[in-house]
Structure 1
Amino acid sequence: MDQIRAEQSQRPKEQRFTTGEILRTIQLPKATYYDERQRIAHPSTKYARVKQAILKIVEEGRVRGLTYGYRRVKAKLEELGIHLADATVESLMHQLGVQVSMYNRHRNHQYHSYKGHVGTTADNLLDQTFNETNPYQVIHIDVSQIKLANKQWAYISVMIDEASKEVLAFQVSDSPNRLLIMNTLEQLENQLPATATPIIHSDQGWHYQLPYYIQRLKNHHFVQSMSRKGNCLDNAPVESFFHLFKTELLNGFPPCKNLSEFKQLATQYVHYFNYERIPFKN
């Protein structure tokens, strides 16, 4: 004992205890200590396998014309047995440069179909109550636009089932005209059971105020409902779809070359949305 004390007293104060002595005192295995030092010195190695998995997931999505946000990447990772916190997945995607930024709606000059009172408006039967649980009872319709690489505009007319969130009708055109709206309604009619008489809820866009649209609804015993003027929250379910469509399909990619390419990608996305997309509440 006296010999050990003598040896320690001869050491410089800053080197009195070796790493090995400290590790033995706190009962920490050397392998654990040096592994952690390696991770601190080279943090990228800690999640090397996870990053490879993220890149593969993102690339698989891009091949299909889709972009994945961190929540969907996280869900895909969990299918592979990799369980990480939301913040960790988001951080890793940021490091890799594959995170999805918010879609900039101003870049595409959001389509405004309201032209004042050009026909007949209907009462708002929903009043922002979107709690229907049975399909084919409440259906939301709206039109949006996308700018293409050739400087032309593509117009999208869509109808969403409030209960199932399924896209029941989806049409694309180079003009927001009568034919676009009538084709959308025809597609819906072919999808619905013969006995269905849903509420068809829209904004006060000019398309939905005109006699040909109103009469088409009456012919099938559909009930017309309209949002209040300038209140997009009154038609939130379909607005939510457009946000997802633009974020997941278009954001992070070059604009579609022309209407034909856009139609092809949009059709693939709608199929993915209806049958494959991982559902989230928000």
Structure 2
Amino acid sequence: MKKVIADLFKKIHERYGYKRITKKLKKSGHSINHKKVYRIMRELVLKCVKFMRKSGKYNSYKGNVGKVAKNRLSRRFSTPIPLQKLVTDITEFKYLDEEKLYLNPIIDLYNEEIITYETKKRPTLDLVMEPLMDTIEIIKNHAAYRTSIHSDQGWHYEHNQWVRTLKENRVFQSMSRKATCPDNTSMENFFGILKQEMY
């Protein structure tokens, strides 16, 4: 089992801790307790080091530039209904020392699947509008109930075009309270894992 765990840890580029290693082992057919995996990894000094690195978060708040929507989710981040609760936000990646890339995904809280996303070198309005239009097409064809899209209070999400597009397509708008990251925990968690394990 020590060799299996060591090989798996190397295969996933030292990105997983003992809990996720345990899940991988169970999927592969091994019957093992997470406490035993923890002991073995500790004995073999297999430590996930990817979480030592800090990464910044893009802040699109520019003061009150439009109407702030109420928080419809109120931290209820699960739903048994596809396309009922969606969350979105923007994050920033730095590369080649000077360059920046911005990512805007839209995630369905039904199964935490990214249903659409956009990347751009500048955080323009198109960064959020293009995935929104794709999402609306998906909603029209597949949503059984009225959809809510939750975001922070960034200027993109207060913009008249964003607000009008949601209203025209009967999509509820929901917003986190100012400077309250836990109101959009699902999105923050996704960005954290993406940056620490992959980026």
**TM-score category (smaller protein):** 0.7 to 0.9
Q: Give deviations 1:201-259, integer Å, cap 9, x for gaps.
A: 11101110111111121222111111111111111121122122223213xxxxxxxxx
Give the TM-score of the pair, scaled to structure 2.
0.85
Report the equivalent of 1:224: 173
> CA offset at residue 174 of structure 1?
1.5
Choose from 171, 195, 198 the match for 2:147. 198
Report the equivalent of 1:93: 41
Cα distance in 2 between the residues matched to 1:183 and 1:144: 16
> CA offset at residue 125 of structure 1?
1.5
RMSD: 2.4
Cα distance in 2 between the residues matched to 1:61 and 1:205: 35
Choose from 166, 178, 190 the match for 2:113. 166
Contact 2:139–2:147 (CA<8 Å) still a contact in 1? no
Choose from 72, 90, 105 the match for 1:125. 72
1:140 correspondence with 2:87: yes
Contact 2:55–2:195 (CA<8 Å) still a contact in 1? no
Choose from 16, 19, 36 the match for 1:68. 16
Cα distance in 2 between the residues matched to 1:164 and 1:79: 19
> CA offset at residue 79 of structure 1?
4.1
Contact 1:202–1:225 (CA<8 Å) still a contact in 2? yes
Bigger strand share: 2
Q: Which has the higher contact order (CA 8 A, sep 6+)?
A: 2
In structure 1, the residue corresponding to 2:89 is in which secondary structure?
Answer: strand
Contact 1:103–1:246 (CA<8 Å) still a contact in 2? no
> CA offset at residue 198 of structure 1?
0.7
Q: 1:52 to 1:134 in 2, by over 3 A?
A: same
> CA offset at residue 93 of structure 1?
3.3
In structure 1, the residue corresponding to 2:112 is in which secondary structure?
Answer: coil
Q: Give deviations 1:136-187, integer Å, cap 9, x for gaps.
A: 1111111111222443222110111112211111222222111111122123
Show the 5 A alignment for 1:31-42: none
Cα distance in 1 between the residues matched to 2:87 and 2:18: 28
AA at the equivalent of 1:108: S
Report the equivalent of 1:188: 135
Q: 1:194 to 1:84 in 2, by over 3 A?
A: closer
Report the equivalent of 1:115: 62
Larger mean Cα displacement after TM superposition, 191-200 or 177-186: 191-200
Cα distance in 1 between the residues matched to 2:41 and 2:100: 32
Contact 1:140–1:202 (CA<8 Å) still a contact in 2? yes
In structure 2, the residue corresponding to 1:200 is in which secondary structure?
Answer: strand
AA at the equivalent of 2:8: I
Contact 2:50–2:197 (CA<8 Å) still a contact in 1? no
Gaps of 5+ in 2: none
Cα distance in 1 between the residues matched to 2:198 and 2:90: 17
